[in-house]
Amino acid sequence: MTDVATTQDERRLLIVEDDTAFRNRLNLSMTRKGFTVFAAEGIEEGAAMAADNMPQYAVLDMKLADGNGLELVPILRQLRPDMRIVILTGYGNIASAVAAVKAGAVDFLAKPADPDEIANTLLTLEGATPPPPENPMSADRVKWEHIQRVFELCDRNVSETARRLNMHRRTLQRILAKRSPQ
């Protein structure tokens, strides 16, 4: 791990994730890594937990049942300006990453993000670069994630997705029918 600033009382972590199974797994993993974890399901619950516990770190899902995780970033920054915030999303793209960083997040990670990668990103000092992931997504996986993201943004409409991706509709249907690449 690169430059890290850690003392036990600074390792308070807020996780805001609406996927219960993922939230529980991440909570357990980050607890094992020495964080005191406060887990919330949505924006309102996350804001209340942050106000009560004043965590040093936060991991926010971008797409929550009650809104966008980016809405929580300014609230957290107001509570604690030095908070290190990481945004997680199942559909990573450059525009979302730029929006996350402009909102005040220190990084933007695509799901499924490895707990080691999350911890390294949270603990890396300001201005330092976290180490590269051990197993980054393959180019095929990145392409597949992008297609899935556009497909979801087009309300799962194959014709509209194909038009926006400048792709033949049948080609898109074949890609969507396949399992995700590793």
67-68/36-40 β-pairing:
unpaired
* Per-residue confidence (pLDDT) for residue 1, from 0 to 100: 39
**Same structural domain, 118 and 47:** yes
Residue 59 within a domain: yes
The residue written with tokens 């106000």 in the block is 51
Contact by Cβ (8 Å): 175, 162: no
User: Which token pair is 33?
Assistant: 């890594």
Peptide bond into 133 cis (omega under 30): no
Residue 1 within a domain: no
12-16/57-61 β-pairing:
parallel
Number of domains in the chain: 2
**Where is average pLDDT lowest: 17-21, 103-107, 147-151, 168-172?**
103-107
pLDDT in tens, 124-153: 766 555 566 666 667 787 787 778 878 877
pLDDT in tens, 150-165: 887 788 899 999 999 9
The residue among 106, 124, 123 whose CA lies nearest residue 35 is: 123
Amino acid at 112: P
Q: How confident is the model at residue 44 (pLDDT cuts 50, 70, 90)?
A: very high
Q: How confident is the model at residue 3 (pLDDT cuts 50, 70, 90)?
A: very low
* Per-residue confidence (pLDDT) for residue 130, from 0 to 100: 58
Q: Which domain holds residue 156?
A: 139-177
When the pLDDT of each residue in the chain is averaged and rounded to a whole number, the result is 81
Residue 133 within a domain: no
Residue 68 within a domain: yes
Q: How confident is the model at residue 47 (pLDDT cuts 50, 70, 90)?
A: very high
Highest mean pLDDT among 4-13, 81-90, 166-175: 166-175
